[in-house]
Amino acid sequence: MSKPLDLHQAKAAIDTIRLLSADMVEQAQSGHPGTPMEAAPIAYLLYTRHMRHNPTNPNWPGRDRFVLSCGHASALLYSMLHLTGYGLTLDDLRNFRQFGSPTAGHPEFGHAPGIETTTGPLGQGVAVGAGMAMGARFLKDQLHGELFDYRTYVLCSDGDLMEGVAAEAASLAGHLHLGNLICLYLDNKITIEGDTDLAFTEQVATRFLSYGWHVQNVEGENVGDLNRAIDKAKASPLPSLIVARSHIGFGAPTKQDSHDAHGAPLGKEELGLTKQFFGRDPGQSFVVPAEVALHMRQVADSGAQLEADWQKLLVEEAKTNQNLAEWQQLCEGGLPAGWDELPQYAAGEKLATRQASGKVLNALADRLPFLLGGSADLGPSNNTALNDERSFTPERSGRNIHFGVREHAMGAILNGLAHTSGLIPFGGTFMIFSDYMRPPMRLAAMMGLGTIYVLTHDSIGLGEDGPTHQPIEQLANLRAVPNLTVIRPADANETVEAWKAAIANRRGPTALILTRQGLPTLDRTQYGAAENLQRGGYVLAAEEGDLQAVIIASGSEVTLALEAQEQLQSQGVGTRVVSLPCWELFEAQDQAYRDQVLPPACTRRVAVEAASTFGWERYIGRCGKAIGMNGFGASGPAGALMKHFGFTADNIVAKVRELL
C-alpha cells in the first residue's frame, strides 16, 4: 500500500516543476510554458506515486511508459527527468532548445534517457501509447503475466484530441479493452488562436464513453482527487480517460487561462510575479530546494528495487520458458539461427509480389515468434494474415492484428509496438493509402524504429480501380524520407530477399512495394542472383558485346526491360539490364560497386518505372530518358493501361534508339 499523500511535500515539488519549466522557456526565449505549469500536478503524481520506473535504467523492459503526446510541453518532461534522476542536469535545462542539447524543443527519442518516443505532431502520442499498450498485452499473454503487467500513461491536450489519429487509435483501444492504457487529458479550454470555443465544443468525455473507455472528470489542481482518479483508472479493465479541468499557465497573474501562456515565454516581469505567487524569490532561476531534490531522488531508490525484483523473476522464469529466452535474444539485437532460411520460387511461376510476400511472411512467422501485425482492413488483398495464428481481440492478444480502416492510427500503433522490447511489427495497406500514414512513417524513420510496411497495389497495374487508387507520386515521396528503406522487388525471389532485408533492418523502417498483378519468376541460372537485392541494385542481365546502353528498372517493369534487351541485342545493340529495387541500399554501397553496375562511361541510360519519374535523374543523368508517369492513371484493365502509358518493350526500345 502506498504511503499517504503529503500535500505540503507535493506542493513544494509541483511548484518547483512549474518554475523550472517556465525558467527553461524564459532562458531560451522560445517554447511553451503554460502547459507544463498546468500539468505539473499530474506529472508529479505519475513519476513519484504511480509509475513503475527506474531512472538508473530507463530501458528496463518491465517499466511503465510515459508518453507526452502534447510534445510542445517538453519542458515538463525535462523537469521530471532532471528531478527524478534520469541524468539530465540543470545545465541541460538551461540549454533548453539550443543546438546540440538533449533538451530539444519537442521530445526526441534517443536524445536523453527517459524519453520513450518522439512527439511533436499532435495526436501521435495517443496512438503510439495505444501501440505500447498492445505490445504490453501481447508480451503478457504470450510470455508471462506478472513480468509484463505494465501500463502506458499518456498526457494529452485539446490539440491531441482534435487530431483524427487520436480518434482512430482511441476507437481501437476501446474495442480491444486495453485496460493498461491511461490517458490524462488537460482540459484547459485554450488553443494557440484563443478559446477552444472557436472550433472545439464537443463533449470529449461522452465521445470516449462511446468508444468503450472508462472516463472520469476531476479538477486538475486537486492533487488528492487526481491521485484517487489514477488509482481508479489502474483498477479498470478498460482504457481510461481522466479529464482534468486544468488552467494553462497556472500561477501567472495575467496570463493564466490565456492563450498568451501557450507558445511564448511569460516575460521577465510576469515570471517574477509568478514566482512571488508560489512564494519563491523572483530574482533566482533554476532553483531546486534541497528538500524537493531529496524527495524526488527517492524515486531512483524505489525504482532500482522494483527492477531488481523483476530481473530476479525473469531469470527464474527463463529457465523453463523457451519463449522468454528467444525474446531476450531479440531484445539484445539478435535473431534466431536459421531465421533467413526461406523457400525459393521456381523459374517461370507467375506470382504477384504481394502473393509471394504473404508466403514469405508466413515462413518468417514460423521462425520469428515475435513478428506480428496486420492490415488496415485489407488483409486478403495485402496477404498479411498469419496462418493458424490467433487474432488480437478484446479477450486475448494474437499475432494477427485487425486495425480496421484506420491507416493513420495503424502507422502510429506500429511505432508503439516497435518501441516494445523484442517485437517486430508490420502493417499493410494499398500503397496509395500510405499517404494517410505518412506522419508516423516519418517519425519511425526519425527514431530509427524497425517497423515494416507492406504496401501493395503499387502502380497503374492495379487496373480497374482507377486513378484514385493508382499510386503515382507515392514512390518518390517515400524515397525522399531519410532513413526509410524502400524496396520494390521484381519477382517472387526478389521478394524473399526484400523481406530478409526488412527483418534484418532494425535501425529504421522498411517499405515493401508490391504488385497486384502476377509477374513471372525469373530464371536465376540465366540472370543475376536474387540475393543481389541486398546491395540495392545489380546487373540482372549483362550486355552482349560492347556496352552501348543500360536499361534500369524496378518491380513489374523489370520484365519489360528484359524483353526490350532481347530486341536490342538481336539488332546488335549491347544492352545491360539493371534491377534497382532499392535506392537506399544501392547508395549504401561503395562507389566502385555502383560504378561497376552503372558504368559512368555509358551515359545512354533509360529508366523504366510505372510511377513518377521524379528523382531518376540521379541515375540517368542529363543524357538519359525516363519512362514513367507524369500524370494520373485511368480506370481499365492493367494490360490496356500499361500499353496506353508507354510501358511496353517496344517503347523502351524506341527510347534507347533515340539515345544511340
Active-site positions read 407
Q: What angle do CA 199, 202, 208 make, to 5 degrees?
A: 135
> Phi then psi for 606, rounded to 5 degrees?
-125, 125
Distances (CA, A) of 624 to 440, 576, 580: 35, 14, 16
Would you state the cell numbers that stand for residue 646, as one nine-digit string? 508507354
In DSSP notation, 599-650 reads: -TT---EEEEEEEE-TTTHHHHTTT-EEEEESS---SS-HHHHHHHTT-SHH
In DSSP notation, 502-528 reads: HHH--SS-EEEE--SSEEEPP-TTTS-
The strand pairing partners of 65, in sequence order, are 152
> Of 114, 128, 107, 153, nearest to 425 (Cα)?
128
Q: What angle do CA 274, 277, 283 make, to 5 degrees?
A: 55
The strand pairing partners of 656, in sequence order, are none
Distances (CA, A) of 340 to 7, 195, 368, 454: 58, 56, 10, 18
Q: Are 47 and 153 in contact (CB under 8 A)?
A: no
Distance CA 286, CA 19 (A): 8
Distance CA 304, CA 307 (A): 5
Q: Are 373 and 426 in contact (CB under 8 A)?
A: yes
| 3-state secondary structure at position 383 | coil
> Of 256, 266, 247, nearest to 23 (Cα)?
266
For helices 290-318 and 7-28, angle between their N-to-C axes, nearest 10 degrees: 100
- Edge-to-edge, what's the strand order for the sheet holding 65-68? 65-68, 152-157, 181-187, 240-245, 214-219
What's the distance, CA 370 to chain centroid?
17
Would you state the cell numbers that stand for residue 133, as one nine-digit string? 499498450
Strands 575-579 and 538-541 come out as antiparallel
Would you state the cell numbers that stand for residue 631, as one nine-digit string? 500524370
Distance CA 527, CA 228 (A): 68
